[in-house]
Amino acid sequence: MSSARLHGWGGGPGVRADVVAIDDEAQLAALLADTDPDRELICRGMGRSYGDAAQRDGGLVLDLRRCRRTALDPARGTVRAGAGATLDQLLGELAPAGWLLPVVPGTQHVTVGGAIACDIHGKNHGAVGSFGSHVRALGLLTAAGESLELSREDGAELLDATIGGLGLTGVITWAEIALMPAPSGVELSVDVVRVHDLDAAFAALDAPGGPYRVAWLDLLGPGLTRGVVTRAEPAPHEPGPPDRGPRATRRSRRPGPRPVTVAAKARVPSWWPAGALRPATVRAHNALRFHAAPRRARGRREGFGAHMFPLDVLREWPRLYGPAGFVQYQCVVPRGAERALQRLLERLRASSVPCYLAVLKDFGPESSAPLSFPMQGWTLALDMPRAAPGLTALLAAFDTIVAEAGGRVYLAKDARLDATMLAAMYPRLPEWRAVRDRIDPERRWVSDLARRTGLVAR
Ligand SMILES: Cc1cc2nc3c(=O)[nH]c(=O)nc-3n(C[C@H](O)[C@H](O)[C@H](O)COP(=O)(O)OP(=O)(O)OC[C@H]3O[C@@H](n4cnc5c(N)ncnc54)[C@H](O)[C@@H]3O)c2cc1C
């Protein structure tokens, strides 16, 4: 056990907690039995949630990253993975065998436990739903030290409370995940279209085309919101020239498959000066990015990893924001409430808060998990410096707009929502709490997020 300072991906001062690295379930069960029942516990994976979901000030944090054993079952099209297995590890193992994870988020550096506990979504939510929908079964170690196996057939209610349950029902120890066949490799065929306002972005995200859809928006440009929408799908296999054996020249050999993950190309140093990221710099970068995109293009071939995880090429990129860090505000509003997002962006423009990254996506129907974030509609994610004057009031105004529209904020990204807003945005909260309180009556699982939002009452 060691004492460490922990914070979310958004940075900031963080909190101090004791951290224990877990090797296996036997160690975990012994630790639970030996720990003072009043000590508050929470799991942590790769710490890629942006706020305070994976930390507890003064508590005991269980680091699951060493529990990363995997076993592919090609006959059933599933993989059984330890909770600490990361998605880049899994993609690297599965792709050569002709399989793909059905859901990946915008970074490859997340664990299976974190993916389930936040019920993460990918760019293809409209087509395949969220990560939890592909979990056939999982192992849960409860606060009482009981080892459960949950599936749709046996323990569906607790399974649903654990999917999106932010680690507050117990420790996810392993999961069996249904896979997608990827027989032709994992290259993507990408359609690109530039848009000059928000309505055009909605329309382009709704247009026919591939299932992986996303709009990057430039909110610092002149006039209205503009952006670039991509719709991608697995590319048909393109056979290379025949392999003429070991004596063939390099050029005549069949090209190898494009990597399904991405390698980091650079790292932001720890001495990066505060305030170096400025609206003028990002404005210029955005203008270049917008004009570099084709007005309209079809069938551009891109590697899966490069398309899905563009931010992973720059290690420690949150350091660009300086020591105060940044906040990501990600919300969803139902279809028909597009005007709410328009209002939200108008409020942002009228404020002095700069938004350095903005992403819009469409979501398909919601899942059966009561705390799961996605709902049929539109999700908008905005990255803003935490130190920006007026940010607190602006985000409170966003909350009101989103809640009035029947939408909600994504807890995996959240660092500031309060209990009243949480209850307004997650109407199935009482149902989730009832299941949680039954499985952990002494409330041993507590994170800073759970305390702040009242997810777990005192
Ligand atoms: C660049 C970037 C892009 C992203 N893009 C997306 C996106 O497109 N879609 C999306 O949905 N999310 C996205 N995210 C958020 C990320 O996918 C989630 O926050 C994910 O949960 C992080 O996994 P982790 O292993 O880092 O978990 P952590 O951040 O360490 O923990 C997250 C939560 O999971 C719980 N947890 C972790 N392990 C376990 C376990 N074994 N048992 C029980 N509970 C556990 C923790 O207690 C905590 O509540 C993005 C994050 C980044 C940094």
Q: Read off the pLDDT of residues 428-455 as tens digits, 9 standing for 90 and up.
A: 999 999 999 999 999 999 999 999 999 9
Q: What does the DSSP assignment read for 416-451?
A: S--HHHHHHH-TTHHHHHHHHHHH-TT--B--HHHH
Lowest mean pLDDT among 26-30, 42-46, 92-96, 250-254: 250-254
Q: Could you tell me if the CB of 113 is within 6 A of ligand 1?
A: yes
Distance 118 CA to ligand 1 centre (A): 6
**Pocket-testing residue among 28, 64, 110, ligand 1, by greatest number of atoms within 8 A of Cβ:** 110
pLDDT (tens digit, 9 = 90+) per residue, 104-152?
999 999 999 999 999 999 999 999 999 999 999 999 999 999 999 999 9
pLDDT (tens digit, 9 = 90+) per residue, 34-51?
999 999 999 999 999 999
Distance 195 CA to ligand 1 centre (A): 31
**How many percent of the chain have pLDDT more than 70?**
95
Tokens of 217: 């928006």
pLDDT (tens digit, 9 = 90+) per residue, 330-378?
999 999 999 999 999 999 999 999 999 999 999 999 999 999 999 999 9
pLDDT band (50, 70, 90) for residue 245? very low
pLDDT band (50, 70, 90) for residue 243? very low
pLDDT (tens digit, 9 = 90+) per residue, 295-340?
999 999 999 999 999 999 999 999 999 999 999 999 999 999 999 9
Sign of the alpha-carbon torsion through 272, 274, 280, 282:
positive
Q: Which residue matches tokens 């664990």?
A: 111
pTM of the model: 0.96
pLDDT band (50, 70, 90) for residue 274? confident
Q: Would the pLDDT of 259 be above 90? A: no
Q: Could you tell me if the CB of 328 is within 6 A of ligand 1?
A: no
The H or E element spanning position 158 is helix 156-162
**Pocket-testing residue among 19, 24, 32, 49, ligand 1, by greatest number of atoms within 8 A of Cβ:** 49
Distance 415 CA to ligand 1 centre (A): 14
State the chain's mean pLDDT as an integer: 94
pLDDT score for 159: 98
pLDDT (tens digit, 9 = 90+) per residue, 88-117?
999 999 999 999 999 999 999 999 999 999
pLDDT score for 255: 57
Nearby residues of 45 by Cβ (< 8 Å), 6 or more positions away: 54, 64, 65, 83, 84, 110, 111, 113, 114, 117
pLDDT band (50, 70, 90) for residue 250? very low
Distance 313 CA to ligand 1 centre (A): 19
pLDDT band (50, 70, 90) for residue 246? very low
Distance in angstroms (rounded) separating the CA atoms of residues 18 and 46: 16
Q: Cβ(376)–Cβ(366) under 8 Å? A: yes
